[in-house]
Amino acid sequence: MLSEDLMLLLIDEVAGGVRVDAASADHALAGAALLDQVRSGLVPEPARPHKAVAKLRRHVRRDVMARLEARGVLTVERTKVLGIFSVRTHVLHRPDDVREVRRSVGDVALGHAAPDERTRALISLLYAVRVLHKVFDGDKREMNARAKEIARGEWAGEAVKKAVRARRAAAAAASS
């Protein structure tokens, strides 16, 4: 599933944390989950996909992590930092799964391979929340330029961008 592959890309294999902020991760995962549902035929492509992304983002990370844990890909450990702050660490049990996803998507992001449908969708979602450079090492401008071309015409990535913009606008309006 795209949402599971995306979550594996977002996890730092060494530190066990998530490489990006929670809002970016949740929006991107919601876009991937919506795309998974549409591709599997569970739902038709929504007329306003950004609204569907906004609704899905609330619990999507928890659901994706539960599926990855059930498959034995990883476990989530909760620890305390300084005895106060609760921190989640993701322990990967099948690092080959992560390496394969990272290699195939990274090759496309860095311009070493042409995108297929799966890598096109993943790069579109990472680009939509502006985290491609946090997931892959390389020249940020080159990766973003390539990702922009790859993402063109990908409705899920565009829906994620609109959902992020709407959330930022609502937060700005609430703080003023």
Query: Taking the complete model, does pTM exceed 0.75, yes or no?
Result: yes
Q: What pLDDT, in 10s, does the model give residues 55-93?
A: 999 999 999 999 999 999 999 998 887 878 888 889 999
Beta strand pairing call for 85-92 and 74-81: antiparallel
* Partner residues linked to 80 by β-bridges: 86
pLDDT digit string (tens) for 5-37?
A: 999 999 998 888 999 999 999 999 999 999 999
Helices (DSSP H) in 41-139: which residue ranges?
Answer: 49-56, 60-70, 95-109, 117-128, 132-135
Measured torsion, CA atoms of residues 95, 99, 105, 110, in degrees rounded to the nearest 10: 140
